[in-house]
Structures are given as C-alpha cells and as structure tokens.
Amino acid sequence: MRLLVVEDDPALARQLAERLEGEGYAVDRAADGEEGQFLGETEPYDAIVLDLGLPRVDGLTVLRSWRAQGMTAPVIILTARGAWTEKVQGIDAGADDYLAKPFSMEELLARIRALIRRSKGHASAEIACGGVVLDTRSGRVTLDGQTVDLTGHEFRVLDYLMHRKGQLVSRTELTEHIYAQDFDRDSNTIEVFVGRLRRKLGADLIKTVRGLGYKLEAP
C-alpha cells in the first residue's frame, strides 16, 4: 500500500513516514500544499494523510481540488485550529476522516487501515483467501492458522493483492503501490517477490495472467 503524507512540519513528517514505513507502507512525503496537490493528482495512492495548515496552498483547497478532479483515494485530515468548524469543512471538502493534533500514532494507524480496507470494499479487519488470512490490524499473515513470516516487500505485495483479491492487478499497478516515488523501481523484482510468496503460501494462490498481470484467487 502506498501512502502520501502532506505535512509541513519536518519532524512530524519524518516521524509519520518512519512509523508508516515500519508498518509496511510505501510512503511519499510533501512539505507544502503545492507539492502535495501535484503528487495526489499524479500518483496512485491508497490513502493520504493531509495536514490542513499548509504553506503555499492550504489543505482544504488541496483537498477540494483533488476531489474536483475525481481523485478517490481516502483522505484523513489532521486538524489543529477551530477544531469542529475545521472538521466539518474538511469532511464537506471530501475528507473521509479526521484526527485532531496532537494525535496518537496508534489511532492514526488504525484509522488508515480502516480507510484503506473500506475503500477496497472490505468490511472486516481480516481478509481471507483460501487458507490465507491477512489481519489488517496486526499485519499478521496466517496459512491454515499457522503464522507465516514475510519480508517487508513480500508483505506489501501480498497486502495489496489481498485487498484487491479476485481482481486483475497489472505489474505496473503493483509496482506503483508498493514503492514510494523516489524508490529505484525494477519491475523484475516483483516477479521475485511473487515467486517467494508462492513458495510460502502455495503455488496456486497468486495466478499469473500472461501479459496482463496477477490475480489472487482461492485455489
């Protein structure tokens, strides 16, 4: 899953990025409204954390512009001013959730997980496919009840495919959603991760649709 964090305070932005990367997300950062607006318009994010008090272009304007262009990724706003008026304005501008500063990181993580899950059409915190179960709250993956150890990249690939299970996911799309923007992408590595996942979770969980991409389906 790939996230965008738009936050002008460098320390808070760094903390957010580090924590989110630690949770297995690919994270892009923008330090002002202009950059944030551009990234949100051009990159396919799975969720966006948006501070409302931004230099250059304020958060509400950025959000309205995204929604006006049909950007559908879930957005959680961070508010600090006249809290309730700002929350109402934020939601009316198209935000999906809000969190008042200072916030607890665990709370933010829970909200982001829930937003991503709902946006991909999953009601429950656990996504199952065949014998494989992904607990989105803990990031734990089990196969027939047994915990499976995955590396960060393996988890990102599986996480995205699980959220989109039953749907065809192209290699480009997969690449875009597991790597941050400044990462040196090599689409061949995707094949390597898929190969490892097949070894750990069973050969027929992830199907290759030749020339098109991958599809995760119960065998």
Partner 1 sequence: MSGGARRLTGSLRFRLLAGAAVWIALALALAGLVLSGLFRDHVARRFEAELTNQLDQLAALVELGADGAPLLRQPLSDPRFRRPLSGLYWQVGPGNAPLLRSRSLWDETLALPPDEVADGDIHRHSVAGPAGRQLSVLERAVTLPNGTAPLRMAVAQDEAELRAVVADFNRVLWLSLGALALALIAAVMVQVSVGLRPLVRLRAELAAVRAGRRKRFGGDSPREVQPLLDDLNALLDHSEEVVVRARLQAGNLAHALKTNLAVLANEAGGEAAARRVAEMRRHIDHHMARARAAAARGLPGVATPVADSAGALARVLEKLQSGGQGGGRVTVAVRVPREHVFAGEREDLDEMLGNLLDNAMKWAGSRVEVASRLEAGGMLAVVVDDDGPGLPADRRDAVLAPGVRLDESTPGSGLGLAVVRDVARLYGGDLRLGDSPLGGLRVELVLPVAAS
Q: What is the contact surface with partner 1 in residues (CB under 8 A)? A: 9, 11-12, 15, 19, 51, 53, 80-85, 87-88, 91-92, 97-105
**Judged by CB, which is closer to partner 1: 16, or 73?**
16
Answer for the pair 165, 216: CB distance below 8 angstroms, yes or no. Answer: yes
Quote the least distance from Cβ 168 to partner 1, whole Å: 32
Q: Beta strand 146-147 with 140-143: parallel, antiparallel or unpaired?
A: antiparallel
**Judged by CB, which is closer to partner 1: 38, or 84?**
84
Closest CA to 126 of 137, 118, 110, 115: 137
**Judged by CB, which is closer to partner 1: 83, or 212?**
83
Quote the least distance from Cβ 90 to partner 1, whole Å: 9
**Judged by CB, which is closer to partner 1: 22, or 44?**
22
Quote the least distance from Cβ 80 to partner 1, whole Å: 4
Quote the least distance from Cβ 45 to partner 1, whole Å: 20
Closest CA to 1 of 91, 119, 132, 125: 119
**Judged by CB, which is closer to partner 1: 125, or 148?**
125
Quote the least distance from Cβ 125 to partner 1, whole Å: 13
Closest CA to 36 of 53, 11, 59, 12: 59
- Dist. CA 103–CA 83, nearest whole Å: 13
Q: Beta strand 47-51 with 26-30: parallel, antiparallel or unpaired?
A: unpaired
Answer for the pair 107, 114: CB distance below 8 angstroms, yes or no. Answer: no
Residues 6+ apart with CB under 8 A from 38: 30
